[in-house]
Amino acid sequence: MNYKKIYALGLRHIYLIMNSFPRVLDLIYWPTVQIFLWGFISKFFTLSSEYYSNTVGVILTAAILYDFLFRASISFNMMFLEEIWSRNFTNLFIAPIKISEIIAALTLTAILRTLIGLVPAVIIAIPLFGVSVLKLGIPLIFLLISLYLFGITLGLLVTSGLLRYGPSFENIAWASLFFLAPLGCIYYPIEILPNFLQIIAKGLPLVHIFEEMRSILINNYVNYANILKSISISMVYFVFGVIVFYISYFGAKKRGTLINMGE
């Protein structure tokens, strides 16, 4: 892989953000609204629920981590959609840039978009609700890595769909994360799910991430084996996502859809 080309594609998206103040506002707006909403819900629960009574901010921390996953995935999708909307698809795919470099550039640039949106919201949560995700300590880094890998995987699967079915697949891009959220056990323990769904949920990294988050915040106990499991599962899905993307790319070349994408 050529890092200069990865940087060039990243720079294309950095310029896009820099050129538009409303775009930066849009990136910050939604996570902030999300934090406000869940902050107040969290505050109410900590006052009224026995389960959460000793731990301030479990729900808000879950909301922040889920938003991190959501933003990572949406950022990846948005950057890919940006090429379709601007009718730049053909120019990009005839440039001497490898598919692996495109994936790497989108993956690395998505973190920037994610952080632009989420960091102000996370900072606001500290004085406003007395909640800081940093309370998770060192494990936070590993939980974020796992979430990021899984978020990018969802992005890869959605963009594969865009390659396969064209811009009409766009709606799925927005719906993809909501589909998995109930199985992710973001705001509740896995025991809430029916047995058969628990089996499916355990196959996702989200359950392990959010169970671990609750374990750290409520029981003050870090299980690194569980964190490692979530990263391993995320990595497997990521490799699967990359393979699906390549299959879709070669399929699109066969169907000739790359040449008309965005027209």
Partner 1 sequence: MFIEIKNLTKFYANYLAVNNINFHIEQYKTVGLLGPNGCGKTTTIGMMLGLVTPSNGEIIIEKKNINSFKRDQILKRFNFASPYVELPKKLTVRQNLEIYGRFYGVDNLSNRINEISGDLDIKNFFERKTGELSSGQKNRVSLAKSLINKPEILLLDEPTASLDPDIGDFIRGYIENYKSKNKITILLASHNMSEVERLCDSVIMMKKGKIIDNGTCESLIKKHGRNNLEETFLKLARSKDEL
Closest approach of partner 1 to the CB of residue 29, in Å: 18
Closest CA to 37 of 63, 57, 56: 63
How far is it, in rounded angstroms, from Cα 121 to Cα 133?
A: 11
Among 57-65, 82-90, 141-149, 234-242, the segment contacting partner 1 (CB under 8 A): 82-90
Q: Which is nearer to partner 1, 11 or 126 (CB)?
A: 11
Q: 215 φ, ψ to 5°?
A: -60, -40
Provide CB contacts within 8 A for 249, sequence distance 6+.
99, 163
Judged by CB under 8 A, the chain residues 20 through 59 that form the site for partner 1 are 20
Among 27-35, 42-50, 80-88, 239-247, the segment contacting partner 1 (CB under 8 A): 80-88
Closest approach of partner 1 to the CB of residue 164, in Å: 14
Judged by CB under 8 A, the chain residues 231 through 260 that form the site for partner 1 are 250, 253-256, 258-259
Applying CB under 8 A, among 49, 82, 126, 179 the residue interacting with partner 1 is: 82
Q: Which is nearer to partner 1, 41 or 112 (CB)?
A: 112
Backbone angle region of 204, left / alpha / beta, with phi > 0 → left and psi within -120 to 50 → alpha: beta
Are 155 and 106 contacting, i.e. CB atoms less than 8 angstroms apart? yes
Backbone angle region of 193, left / alpha / beta, with phi > 0 → left and psi within -120 to 50 → alpha: beta
Q: Which is nearer to partner 1, 15 or 240 (CB)?
A: 15
Closest approach of partner 1 to the CB of residue 127, in Å: 35
CA dihedral sign of residues 142, 144, 150, 155: negative
Q: Which is nearer to partner 1, 240 or 250 (CB)?
A: 250
Cβ count near 45 (within 10 Å): 20
Among 55-63, 83-91, 136-144, 150-158, the segment contacting partner 1 (CB under 8 A): 83-91
Please measure the distance between the N-terminal and C-terminal CA atoms of the chain and give it in whole angstroms.
30
How far is it, in rounded angstroms, from Cα 147 to Cα 73?
A: 10
87 binds partner 1 (CB under 8 A): yes
Q: Which is nearer to partner 1, 225 or 254 (CB)?
A: 254
Closest CA to 64 of 33, 24, 35, 26: 35
Per-residue x/- track, 89-128, partner 1 (CB under 8 A): xxx-xxxxxx------------------------------
Point out which residues bind partner 1 (CB under 8 A): 2, 4-5, 7-9, 11-12, 15-16, 19-20, 82-83, 86-91, 93-98, 250, 253-256, 258-259, 263
